[in-house]
Structure 1
Amino acid sequence: MILVTFISLIGVVIFELFSFPVPWMLGPLFAVLLSQFFIKKVSLEWPSYFRNIGLVIVGAAIGHSFQFDLFAGMGWLILFMLILNLTLVLLTTIMALGVEKFSHIPLKTAITCTVPGGISQIVTFAEEEKDINLAIVTYFHVIRVISIVMLIPFFVSGHVVKGDDHLGFSISTLLPLGLLILACWVFALIGKKLKLPVPFFLTPVFLVLILQLTSFNIPEVPVWLLHIAQLFIGAYIGFLLKPSMLKLGARVITIGIVSALVLLGITLAQGWMVSYFFNYSLPTGFLSTAAGGLDQMSLLATAIGADISAVTVFQMFRLLFIFIIVFPMLKVVCNWIDRRNGQIQDAKVDVSN
């Protein structure tokens, strides 16, 4: 873990030197990702609870920055978000048929590879279903998240609005800030017990939003703490792509990368539409529609000065859409494929008899 921390800081320094976007997240991501392929004699470790700590910090920061006036035109906004997500599901279904045809991956695996959900939720679904290649599904979604998290900041780097950097170190704010982070962590553990989606991110957001409606004086999360959170999350994402995943075969690896780039192109086009219709900045539009996950996109929004409230609402709607509509539909489709395959097998047996 000490070595990974050192590698991550090297990544930060390099990204700062070249003025690359989001250095405290992308620097560790690139550095850790590449180091796995060269460092063989030392076992690199980065526990998931580091990522969870980072998510809690980011969740508290986003809850503090959230603007409630976004809900004023919610009726039109919900309809627009519904159309965007239905279109995305339709296009990813077409992508799944293409993946099946060109990579010879079974249809159930191909559909699970292209559905725009979170890694942990999709992998859990794949584990529960039979006849789904878990390694391929994991690889496709890891490549999708890494490509989106790495490429979007470069796409929008010319449009970035710098955030406030005045929040530095202050002894007087340490105690209330520490209590806030501790409370967010405790509530996140409760959210995990209740099996809420992305509990270490969503629960702190909701907790701070509720506290803001009371008379509590909520401390603002300083920039230096957000940098630590970005490093924790960036290093974790860098670990997602394992060297062993490259043993899946050249065809599967290539199609995984191509599908990730196609999905990125689709969501970037949707992001441009959001920017056009709602007069958001380009970073806000892109991050609102990108299929990189609620936690990662909200973190990037805080890092590049996008509208955190809009990005969080758009990504939260997609998360609910996936849980309420996409996963049940995916279950129905998988059952239909199982029945169809069973009928084909039965027909083959009858013919052979």
Structure 2
Amino acid sequence: MPNVQSMGIVLGVSLVGVWIFTLLHLPVPWLLGPLFFVLISQFFIKTDFYWPAALRNMGLIIIGISIGQSFQFHMFKNLGWLIGVMLLMNGMILLFSFLLSLMLVKVGNLPLKTAIICTVPGGFSQVVAFAEEEEIDLPIVTYFHVIRVISIVIGIPLLLHVHAMNSQKESAISFSTLMALILLFLVAIGAVWVGKKIKIPVPYFLLPLILVIGLQFFSINTPEVPSPFLQMAQLMMGAYIGKLLTPKMLVFEKKIILLGIITTILLLLFTVGQGWMLMKMMNYSLATGILSTAAGGLDQMSLLASAIGADVSVVTVFQLFRILFVFIFILPLLKAFCHYIDQRDAGRV
């Protein structure tokens, strides 16, 4: 019962956030309103906020299906050139992240292993799981990545100063369309189950996305996700992200808290510069360029692209390439590096 009451508080706060953001004509109100208001309310409402991961996952499946329906195949015409650009952008951000980690070692007196994991631009869940596996300071790593995700998800739409696109057609949902949507959702859940078994990253978003793209490739039509469903999916995600940064997390030294904010701002500015480069090199819009290079999550950046009218296909491919690059190449290298550091500290090398 306390969990139900706490969920009700989170839902109420989220809806207030949606209303205020809509009233003030702020961007992406159904995502950023709940995120911002849940984040701030935790510091004033003296109760533990509860928002189950299952609701976030349900929202991710809906958003994955919707973005899959928006995906276009035109960008694969120059795939070789595109891969080269993605490698360049990822190499630049990894080098910059390593420089930030050296700053954390020097200024924050953090161990090199911890500093590197705090700044690596990987997926939040994968990096936190890696830190736990390697017995690295988990609270500090979690704080650095949470503050990064929240700042990027809030900061980029405000920086671009654009508003959510009302591109969804408001129409009545027929019974047959609703049944088709439920069937598609159930098939997507099955795809997620398979993806989790074979350890695909971001399965709740990526597998529905791949499923719908595959159906499109074979000219199989899928029912369009209605706008109210997408709005609720955004609320589910926004409330979950806002709840990540809890008051209990801010128990570190003031220096560490400040360094988390500084490194996030520096990384955000660096990726904005990369987005501008991408705009000039590839003739993308500025919104598409920035969201493609931002060190946020694949799911959040693709959602923002859909909400603000950027090229969803480009953003999704760039973000997917980055997370796979980190997952397949960088994390194994970091594992070997951590092993070397442990061996060195033990006097074995």
Query: What TM-score range do you get, normalising by the shorter chain?
Result: over 0.9
Q: Are the equivalent residues in 2 in contact too, given 1:161–1:306 (CA < 8 A)?
A: no
Partner of 1:274: 278
Per the alignment, do residues 270 and 215 of structure 1 end up closer, same or farther by CA in structure 2, a change over 3 Å counting? closer
Amino acid at match of 1:71: F
2:200 to 170, 179, 196: 196
**Offset of 1:47 from its aligned partner?**
0.2
Per-residue CA deviations over 1:298-317 (Å, capped at 9, x if unaligned) read 01111111100000000010
Give percent identity, aligned residues only.
Answer: 54
Equivalent runs, 1:146-225 vs 2, <5 Å: 146-158=150-162, 162-172=165-175, 173-225=177-229
**Offset of 1:44 from its aligned partner?**
2.1
* Cα distance between partner residues in 1 of 2:101 and 2:117: 8
* Cα distance between partner residues in 2 of 1:161 and 1:36: 26
**Offset of 1:171 from its aligned partner?**
2.1
Pair 1:251-2:255 in alignment: yes
- Match of 1:218, SS state, is coil
Amino acid at match of 2:17: G
Amino acid at match of 1:50: L
1:76 to 74, 78, 81: 81
Partner of 2:336: 332
* Cα distance between partner residues in 2 of 1:304 and 1:167: 18
Q: Are the equivalent residues in 1 in contact too, given 2:288–2:311 (CA < 8 A)?
A: yes
Amino acid at match of 1:235: A
Partner of 2:4: none
1:50 to 51, 55, 60: 55
Q: How many residues align?
A: 342
**Offset of 1:92 from its aligned partner?**
0.6
Partner of 2:68: 63
Per-residue CA deviations over 1:96-139 (Å, capped at 9, x if unaligned) read 00011111111110011000111111111111113x21110000
Q: Are the equivalent residues in 2 in contact too, given 1:163–1:304 (CA < 8 A)?
A: no
Amino acid at match of 2:145: H
Pair 1:10-2:13 in alignment: no
- Match of 2:338, SS state, is helix
Amino acid at match of 2:179: L
Amino acid at match of 1:63: G
Greater Cα shift, 172-181 or 279-288: 172-181
Unaligned stretches of 5+ residues in structure 2: 1-6
Per the alignment, do residues 287 and 103 of structure 1 end up closer, same or farther by CA in structure 2, a change over 3 Å counting? same
**Offset of 1:215 from its aligned partner?**
4.5
Greater Cα shift, 6-15 or 215-224: 215-224
Runs of 4+ in 1 over 3 A off after TM superposition: none
Q: Are the equivalent residues in 2 in contact too, given 1:143–1:241 (CA < 8 A)?
A: yes
* Cα distance between partner residues in 2 of 1:16 and 1:163: 13
Partner of 1:36: 42
Partner of 1:23: 29
Partner of 1:233: 237
Per-residue CA deviations over 1:294-353 (Å, capped at 9, x if unaligned) read 01100111111110000000001001110121111211221222233223xx89xxxxxx
- Match of 2:250, SS state, is helix
Per-residue CA deviations over 1:41-61 (Å, capped at 9, x if unaligned) read x43210001110111001001
- Match of 1:335, SS state, is helix
Amino acid at match of 1:55: L
**Offset of 1:187 from its aligned partner?**
1.3
Q: CA RMSD in A?
A: 1.5
Amino acid at match of 2:341: I
Amino acid at match of 1:200: Y
* Cα distance between partner residues in 1 of 2:8 and 2:208: 28
1:260 to 256, 261, 264: 264
Pair 1:85-2:90 in alignment: yes
* Cα distance between partner residues in 2 of 1:336 and 1:94: 20
Amino acid at match of 1:204: P
Greater Cα shift, 316-325 or 179-188: 179-188
Partner of 2:3: none
- TM-score norm. by structure 1 comes to 0.94
Partner of 1:322: 326
Amino acid at match of 1:114: T
Greater Cα shift, 206-215 or 193-202: 206-215
1:118 to 100, 123, 134: 123
